[in-house]
Amino acid sequence: MLKLLNLLKDGRFHSGEALGAALGVSRSAVWKQLQHLESELNLTIHKVRGRGYQLAAPLNLLESHAITAFSQGEQWPVFIHESIDSTNAEGLRLAAQGQAAPFLVLAERQTAGRGRRGRQWVSPFAENLYYSLVLRVEGGMRQLEGLSLVVGLAVMRTLQVFGLKEVGLKWPNDVLVRGRKITGILLELVGDPADVCHVVLGVGINVNMQSTEQIDQQWTSMRSEVGLVVDRNQLVALLNQQLQHELARHRRYGFAAFQEEWEQAHLWQGRKVSLVAGNTRIDGVARGVDGQGGLRLDVDGVEKSFSGGELSLRLRDDS
């Protein structure tokens, strides 16, 4: 299907005869592939007698050579999939098979994309960024402290390069624009976190998506914010560059070097919040983060730190 998509991605009309000749198949085979694109990938294709076939909107497909053309600095090996269950899951599989880290897994679509706490990550075809960077981590837990918060800073700065305004962070793993979610971050690891392990930095960014009924919270996308279609290959290259810089700093200095700048970007700093874990709720005032990336809360005049992947932070109604 990717061969056909590459022929159609310019958004222009292409005759069935020309498509068949380029693919080396019959016009009826082209028709079947077009039906498959519509049903499986939810793409809209205009069919006009005498003119041929046209995608309703041009497609910007992920391509390793295009990412390289936009890139500066170290080039990570990249694995690009048309469709996959989850880029994080594939990253873990490749690491288990002996693929040398660091490496990057990207996909045009996820069929089982995951967010935090088991939530689904909505993953329409060729609209957003589904990005998993796999790292080999040595030296114990210090190399993992605050890592998801460092990734959030890198994503925030990347979005700002593209001209997005009012971008900020929500502890622990979200990036918001004008209070609406644009990015989620999910870290997963395998191995011994006290010795040597592999960690997958999963990043989902709403890039060119303009509508969906599958998200149950306020959201936005890069295209909605800047009014332009964003080249996802350029986005990958710039995010790689930001992560290379921030991860090197984190390895050298630890999360303590990021603590102040992360707090400056935290949108709920000083706000009344509720920290929820299952049926347990703790009310307090967000005071920032500690040197390990845990949330600092003022609870009835006493400052306490909290950390853990199952925690959810919410604004209180009276905030």
- pLDDT band, very low/low/confident/very high, at 118 (cuts 50, 70, 90): low
Percent of the chain whose pLDDT exceeds 90: 60
- pLDDT band, very low/low/confident/very high, at 245 (cuts 50, 70, 90): very high
Spatial separation of the C-alpha atoms in residues 20 and 194, rounded to whole Å? 56
CATH 3.40.1360.10 assigned to 2-55: no
Question: Is 269 known to sit in a ligand binding site?
Answer: no
Tell me what the mean pLDDT of segment 221-240 comes to.
95
**Coil, helix or strand for 80?**
strand
Mind telling me the catalytic residues? 116, 181, 314
Question: Is 115 known to sit in a ligand binding site?
Answer: yes
Q: What is the pTM of this model?
A: 0.89
Question: Is 86 known to sit in a ligand binding site?
Answer: yes
Please tell me the CATH code under which domain 64-263 is placed.
3.30.930.10
Which residues of the chain does CATH 3.30.930.10 include? 64-263
CATH topology of domain 268-315: SH3 type barrels. (2.30.30)
Question: Is 109 known to sit in a ligand binding site?
Answer: no
- pLDDT band, very low/low/confident/very high, at 216 (cuts 50, 70, 90): low
Question: Is 110 known to sit in a ligand binding site?
Answer: yes
Which residues of the chain does CATH 2.30.30.100 include? 268-315
Which residues of the chain does CATH 1.10.10.10 include? 2-55
310 pLDDT more than 60: yes
Between CA 34 and CA 124, with CA 27 as vertex, the angle to 5 degrees is 10
pLDDT value for 213: 56
